[in-house]
Chain A
Amino acid sequence: MLIDALTLQLGYNATLVALGAAALGLAAGTVGAFLFLRQRALVSDAISHSTLPGLACAFLLMVAFGGEGRNLAGLMAGSAVSAWLGLWLTAWLTRRTRLSEDAAIGAVLSVFFGLGVVLLTVIQTMSAGRQAGLESFLLGSTAGMLQSDALLIAAGGALTLTATLLLRRPLLMIAFDEGYAAQRGLSVHAFDMALMTLVMAVTVTGLKIVGLILIVALLIIPPVAARFWTDRAERVALLAGVLGGAAGYAGAAISATAPQLPTGPIIVLTAFAFFTLSLIAAPGRGVMASLLRHRRLQHRVHLRQGLLALAHGQPVYEDLTRRMLRARGLLRADGVPTAKGRARAAEEALDEARWQELRRAPQLSELAARDDGLTRIEDILTRDQIAAIDARLGPRGAVA
């Protein structure tokens, strides 16, 4: 069943939805990456919530002019207008008053959403225009999606994606160094607005599939997940697009397999699964990787301390250290070092003595700063330098 869905064998409508969702996810992930790099991820929250009153107004208008209230293109236009208004208000509140940006975002999103709900209840009391499907815009619904709707969504996604790719250089420059970008003659404000317009376009496009509350997830989660895998901004954007597209595609496919699996939440949860995977497994920034790093470091410290203790003829009490020494055949079960253990211990002790001498040697002492207690001195000094140190060590070099 799931295989069928993933390979688009589940009928025409499911195929349509899956492809549309993939296009949307691709666009949302890419645009979201720039938003994320600009550290303004939550602006998308304000934008998405403020589409609601526009949606309702567009519906009312279309009904007033005798049309059918559920024309997707009309509803999208209306939500774009009110999203733009919300965006402008957020910017205005942040710039003209002393409220911080998050307060402005919160105020705009809650007030616009409240207004939208008021308008929705107005619509509910009307009988004209088949209002029944309007609530589905809150959480997204793909049941009853027409081919023209899917094409509209795919086209919107593609358009946004293209525009994002065209604008990527200035957007990246602004994200990383606003001051430098301004000096180069870029209008930071204009490009910020361009970015916001792109976000708005994605939001409006995604209303039908994931709903206005959950579209935020598609803008935020893929970029955050992508960030774990790479440090390069272009790759973050690329990867975020891929992850978003995959989440949209897989989510839509999964939700097509059963009637009570709503599309929007499934897509979001698929994206979240990608995020969790990235958080745990990503090389470099992932939790597993840093745990492994930590363990390796811990082991090296224990081994070295254990060997130094052996060299000074002290018994090793620490449990982990004993186990590690034994596993490497350096220590017998009764705590007596083996021949190999004694040799390694002598090596470590010599290394330690050389380090101490290095700290005393005036011409080399700046190198001593590189002593982290783990690095072998052979890795830093040349053979000649070591010989010089050994010569200084001379009479006391008995440990070797």
Chain B
Amino acid sequence: MLIGTLAAMACALPGNFLLLRRQALIGDAISHTVLPGIVVAFLVTGTIAAVPMMLGAAGAALVAVVLIEAIRRLGRVEPGAAMGVVFTAMFAGGVLLLEQTDTASVHLDVEHALYGNLESLIWLDGFSWSALTDPAALATLPPELGRMAAALVVVAAATWLFWRPLKLATFDEAFARTLGLPVTLISLGIVTMAALAAVAAFDAVGSIIVIAMFICPPACARLMTNRLEHQVTWSLGFATLSAVLGYVLAGYGPLWLGNTASVSAAGMIATVSGALLGLAALFGPHRRG
């Protein structure tokens, strides 16, 4: 649950800027292209260790961004279409690689990549608060937690450090350019942050929740306030709320309905975030542009 929350927050943070810059679907593209990167990393190293996976995923995300730009410039293709060409082709390549090799046997299958696997990341020893101070129990913490926390810290720190230039470049690119700010570098930085968050979260929770968290909480927040500072805060709040609520609903909801098994937590989190967006769209104070 904690991982889900951290993942949601890490994705929502850069999502705010992507949303305002009308690049919301970059998150979608990145989360699809991560797949071939992970498969290639597995083929090269032969392990499912975290570091090569992350490197592979980040590499693939970078390749995708470069390819999109190249197709857009060289072929004078409209950005949405260029994105569509690249991410579907790369995703298809990833699926093909997966099927070609026997990676499917080592918990690296397509369904896992899509749905995520929050349920398996249960901290078995963490049933009481005292476990927090017990080093033996802490050692059994799923490593994804640490990684996710680190990713969140990095994204948050970058956002905080570059707050002013980010804000300027987002709202008034021309003005930012006249001030001598490296606008291209900043937008590249935002995409990199998004890729980092996506890769870390992908590892833990799968690609749907990544896309949902990139877009839904910031979109909700956008309907709640006009100020960027408030929007970021709101989006973090919405992200946390959907993660917690989604997880609880996924775990206990079916029990209340008399069913025994739980449902996909990642899917539920995405669903809750959508429901929140629906509410915001219906009742939010700043619905109209």
Q: Which residues of A approach B to under 8 Å, CB–CB?
A: 36, 39-42, 44-45, 93, 96-100, 102-103, 105-118, 120-122, 125, 135, 138-139, 213-214, 216-217, 220-221, 223-224, 227-228, 260-262, 264-266, 268-269, 271-272, 275, 279, 285, 287
B248 to chain A, nearest CB (A): 14
Partner of A265, one of B22, B76, B93, B275: B93
Cβ contacts under 8 Å, B111 to chain A? 135, 138
Chain B residues lying within 8 Å of A125, measured Cβ to Cβ, are 259-261
| Beta-carbon nearest neighbor of B114 in chain A | A138
Which residues of B lie under 8 Å from residue A269 when comparing CB positions? Answer: 89, 92-93, 96
From 193 to 234 in chain B, residues with beta carbon under 8 angstroms from any chain A beta carbon are 208-209, 211-212, 214-216, 219, 222-223
Contacts of A102 in B (CB 8 A): 22-25, 80
Taking a contact as CB atoms under 8 Å apart, the answer to whether A121 and B281 are in contact is: no
A-B contact list, 14 entries, CB within 8 Å: A42-B25, A98-B289, A100-B19, A103-B22, A110-B211, A110-B270, A111-B275, A113-B211, A114-B271, A216-B88, A217-B89, A266-B96, A268-B89, A285-B75
Contact B270 A42 (CB under 8 A): no
- List the A residue with the shortest CB-CB distance to B75: A279
Return B4 CB to nearest CB of chain A, in Å: 12
Q: Report whether B78 and A39 are in contact in the complex, using a CB–CB cutoff of 8 Å.
A: yes
Inter-subunit contact B71/A279 (CB<8 Å): yes
Are B267 and A118 in contact, CB atoms less than 8 angstroms apart? yes
Tell me if B219 and A114 are in contact (CB < 8 A): no
Given the known inter-chain contacts A103-B219, A138-B114, A220-B88, please indicate yes or no for A115 contacting B267, CB distance below 8 A. yes
Task: Report A-chain residues with C-beta under 8 Å of the C-beta of B84.
Answer: 41-42, 44-45, 216-217, 220-221, 224
* A39: B residues at CB distance < 8 A: 78, 80-81
Determine the distance from Cα of A93 to Cα of B286 in the docked complex, in whole angstroms: 13
A268–B88 touching, CB < 8 Å:
yes
For residue B288, which residue of chain A has the nearest CB? Answer: A98
Tell me which of A45, A105, A110, A223 contacts B212 (CB under 8 A): A110
Please determine whether B281 and A96 come into contact, CB atoms closer than 8 angstroms. Answer: yes
CB distance A99 to B222 under 8 Å?
A: yes
B77 neighbours in A (Cβ, 8 Å): 224, 227
Contacts of B262 in A (CB 8 A): 121
Q: A106-B215, A111-B273, A118-B250 are in contact. Are A224 and B287 (CB under 8 A)?
A: no
CA distance A265 to B264 in the complex (A): 26
**Within 8 Å of chain A (Cβ to Cβ): is B27?**
yes
> Once the chains bind, are B250 and A107 in contact (CB under 8 Å)?
no
CA distance A45 to B76 in the complex (A): 21
In the complex, the answer to whether B219 meets A99 with C-beta atoms within 8 Å is yes
Q: Bound complex: CA of A216 vs CA of B90, how far in Å?
A: 13
Question: Which residues of chain B have C-beta atoms less than 8 A from A221's C-beta?
Answer: 84-85, 88-89
- Chain B: which residue is nearest A111 at the CB level? B274
Contact B96 A265 (CB under 8 A): yes
In the complex, are the beta carbons of B85 and A272 less than 8 A apart?
yes
Complex Cα distance A275/B261, Å? 45
Q: How far is A40 from B80 in the complex, measured between Cα atoms in Å?
A: 8
**Does A261 contact B22, Cβ atoms closer than 8 Å?**
no
CB-contact partner of B75 in A120, A216, A287, under 8 A? A287
Cβ-defined partner of B28 (8 Å) among A45, A122, A264: A45
Residues of B within 8 A of A260 (CB): 99-100
- Whether, in the assembled complex, B74 has its beta carbon less than 8 Å from a beta carbon of chain A, the answer is yes
Contacts of B76 in A (CB 8 A): 285
> In the docked arrangement, what's the CA distance between A297 and B76, Å?
21
Whether A118 pairs with B263 at a CB distance below 8 angstroms is yes
Q: A residues within 8 A CB of B53?
A: none
Can you name the residue of chain A whose Cβ is closest to the Cβ of B209? Answer: A114
Instruction: Judge if B252 is at the interface, Cβ distance under 8 Å.
Output: no
B137 within 8 A of A: no
The residues in B between 130 and 186 inclusive whose CB is less than 8 angstroms from any CB of A are none
Instruction: Report the Cα distance A98→B285, complex, angstroms.
Output: 12
Question: Chain B contacts of A106 at CB under 8 A?
Answer: 24-25, 27-28, 211, 214-215
Q: Smallest distance from the beta carbon of B274 to chain A beta carbons, Å?
A: 3
Q: Is B269 in contact with chain A by the CB < 8 A criterion? A: yes
Q: How far apart are the CA atoms of A272 and B25 in the complex, in Å?
A: 20
The residue on B at minimum CB distance from A279 is B75
CB nearest to B260 among chain A residues: A125
The CA of A266 and the CA of B275, in the complex, are separated in Å by: 36
Q: Is the CB of B223 within 8 A of A99?
A: yes
Contact B28 A96 (CB under 8 A): no
Q: How far is the CB of B273 from chain A (nearest CB, A)?
A: 7
Q: Which residues of B contact A36 (CB under 8 A)?
A: 78, 81
B191 at the interface (CB under 8 A from A): no
Interfacial chain B residues near A107, Cβ < 8 Å: 212, 215-216, 219, 274, 277
Interface membership of B83, Cβ < 8 A: yes
